Structures are given as C-alpha cells and as structure tokens.
Amino acid sequence: MTIRAAITGWGSSLPVGRVTNADLESRLDTTDAWIVERTGIRERRVAAQGETTASLGAAAGNAAIKQAALSPSDIDLLIVTTATPEQPMPETSAFVHDELGLRCGAFDVGAVCAGFTYALITGAALVSTGAHDHVLIVGSETYSRIVDPSDRSTAILFGDGAGAVVLSRSSADGPDGGPGVIAWDMGCDGSGAALLEVPAGGSRLPTSAETLAAGKHWMRMDGQEVFRRAVRCVVDSGKATLENAGMGPEDVDLFVPHQANTRIIEAAANRLGIPLDKTFSNLERYGNTSAASIPIALTEAAEEGRLHDGDLVLLSGFGAGMTWATVLLRWGAP
C-alpha cells in the first residue's frame, strides 16, 4: 500500500482583541483608504496580555484534534511553526506539548510565513514513511509583540492568531489516489534574508543596551522587494507543484495562499491561471498572521462549506528568508 497523509482535523484560535484601520488612523500617519487599497486589510486580531503563541497554538491544536475525532494520546508527533516563539529557548512546541498533554515527540520548523507549508511537507513525509499515524501541525503567531507600533509600513499588516491541522495516515490506492498530500515544492533564497528580519537578539547581534535603544528587536521589512519576490515565487512554485502532479490550474478546486496582501494573492492567482472565485481570502479580517494564515484560512474554508471530499487544494506559503513552499492535496478523510 502506498501511504498518503490526509488532513483529518482542523481548527483555529483567534484573540478577541481587534485593531481596525480606524484605530491605526488615530495613531499613525495612514488612512483606512490607503490600507484597504494597498493591502485589502480592514482589521487584525491582537493577543491580550497573557495570551501567547503557545496558548493560542494549543487552543488551535485542541480544536483540530477534536475535529479529527481523536484525543491527545492519539497524536504521535507535534510540529509547531512560528516566527514569534514563546521564548528564545526551548522551542514553542515544548509549551504547546505540555498544554495539550501530549506524550509524543515535538519540534519546531521555522520558515516564517512559509512555515506552515514547510511543516506540512515535513509531517506528510513522516506519515508517508509509515513512522507516524497522526501528526499535529500548529502554526501560531503573536506578531503584535515584534511589530514596531510606530512603523506604518508593518503595523498595518500583521495580526495574531493560530491554526492547526491533524495529518493522518491514508492510502493512495484508489481511483483518484485517495485523500492526502499529492505533491509539493519548496525553496529558499537566503540572499534575501535582510529583506524581512528582526536584526537583533540572536548570535549575530546579541541583545544589548545598544540594540534595544536602536530598536533592532522590532521586525523590519523592504515591502516592495518582498512583494515582487512573493508573486514570482508563488507562481513558479505553484506551477512546479502542479507539474510534479501531472496536473494543471484547471484541476484546482480551491487555492489557499498565504494571506499577506490582496494584490499579491490576485496577481499570483491570475498568473497561475486560477480564477479568483476559486481563491480563498480572509485577509480583510485578520491581516497577515504569518505561519498561522493558511491553517486559519483552511479552517474557515471548511467551516464555510468550500471544501468537499475529493477537491484538489493548492496551498502556497512564502516569507522571510526568503522561503516558499507549495502543497497540492486532495481533501477528504481516509
């Protein structure tokens, strides 16, 4: 039997706190009209004090385990992906593991906004070897803790939240190959590392009074260049993934891209040849939640009845690094 990894559970956790464009207008040199026209975002969620990457991630993970009709003891691997970790050490997965009461191995996969698709590929590959039956993948972020509130080019974009999926062992033996991950593509161009970064707090530039005074612990971004590269890599990686599977854009039932900017999503969908009515977006309500955006979007798409058994779903992540990864899967339980 050829083993595939199918998504059998999904869930999300979003803080109740909201920051609308009107809130931002009142404290930054920006306007609701500019933000909506250039990004498509109208509001984003913000974690309250005490709400953290691990607590949001555990809540999303718990929802996904329940949706899969499993219990925590059924999970045999946890993979967490985040660019806003609970602490510098240990990995956020340790905290999520503890909160969920898991008894399996756990580790973090880091690829910033491409983290979810990177983690999904990692989990699917491990399920496909037969090593694990149920892998929980959690994408969780609290960007409000690393975004400079006075930087209008980033403060308008990012939001907090978490999403999770359970990947379960499935069989690829069937008329359409059965549900699960079919093909993927992943890549990185490390020469673009400085385009989107938190410069200090690591080995290269350890925390000091100077780094704090210079604001080097905030995230900074060259938005225009990230934008250009994002469209290019979503399109190239999407095409490569479809080609690997021997399929074309006309086969895709739902395209769920990383939610960064409506103009990126629309440009990429157009160039890929996927119509916008088959492209999912909830950007206007949550902004860019980085590694959490795709599992939050998948959860909403499932809840809205936009995913049916047998549907072909294309997931596309891209982010700092620069990193990108695309996954093609067939929706449905084994």
Least distance from ligand UT7 to the Cβ atom of residue 156, Å? 5
Which sign does the torsion angle of CA 15, 20, 21, 25 carry?
A: negative
Determine, following the binding rule CB under 6 A, whether residue 237 of this chain makes contact with ligand UT7.
no
3-state secondary structure of 15: coil
Which sign does the torsion angle of CA 178, 58, 303, 116 carry?
A: negative
Q: Which strands, in side-by-side order, build the sheet including 254-257?
A: 180-188, 323-330, 312-319, 254-257
Reading the block at residue 194, the tokens are: 């400085």
Determine, following the binding rule CB under 6 A, whether residue 269 of this chain makes contact with ligand UT7.
no
Q: Which of 326, 299, 283 is nearest to 117 (CA)?
A: 326
**105-108 and 180-188 as β-strands: parallel, antiparallel, unpaired?**
unpaired
Nearer to ligand UT7, 66 or 228 (CB): 228
Nearer to ligand UT7, 111 or 164 (CB): 111
Binding flags for ligand UT7, 281-300, as an x/- string (CB under 6 A): -------x------------
**With contacts defined by CB under 6 A, how many residues of the chain interact with ligand UT7?**
19
Determine, following the binding rule CB under 6 A, whether residue 230 of this chain makes contact with ligand UT7.
yes
Determine, following the binding rule CB under 6 A, whether residue 227 of this chain makes contact with ligand UT7.
yes
Binding flags for ligand UT7, 300-319, as an x/- string (CB under 6 A): -------------------x
Nearer to ligand UT7, 137 or 196 (CB): 196
Q: Is 258 a catalytic residue?
A: yes
Decide: 6 and 123 in contact? Cβ < 8 Å.
no
Q: Which of the residues 113, 132, 134, 261 is marked catalytic? A: 113
Q: Which of residues 101-130 bind ligand UT7 (CB under 6 A)?
A: 113
Q: Where are the alpha helices (DSSP H) in the chain?
A: 21-25, 32-39, 53-67, 92-100, 115-128, 152-155, 209-213, 223-244, 262-272, 283-286, 293-303
Which of 224, 248, 251, 303 binds ligand UT7 (CB under 6 A)? It is 224
Least distance from ligand UT7 to the Cβ atom of residue 83, Å? 9
Sequence-distant (6+) residues with CB within 8 A of 6 are 167, 168, 169, 170, 178, 179, 180, 181, 329, 330, 332, 333, 334
Nearer to ligand UT7, 218 or 227 (CB): 227
Determine, following the binding rule CB under 6 A, whether residue 268 of this chain makes contact with ligand UT7.
no
Q: 197-235 burial, b for 16+ CB within 10 Å, e for fewer?
A: bbbbbeeeeeeeeeeeeeebbbbbbebeebbebbbbbbb
Q: Is 113 a catalytic residue?
A: yes
Nearer to ligand UT7, 120 or 172 (CB): 120
Which of 196, 254, 268, 307 binds ligand UT7 (CB under 6 A)? It is 196
Q: Where along the sequence are the contacts to ligand UT7 (CB under 6 A)?
A: 30, 34, 38-39, 113, 152-153, 156, 196, 223-224, 226-227, 230, 260-261, 264, 288, 319
Catalytic (active-site) positions: 113, 258, 288
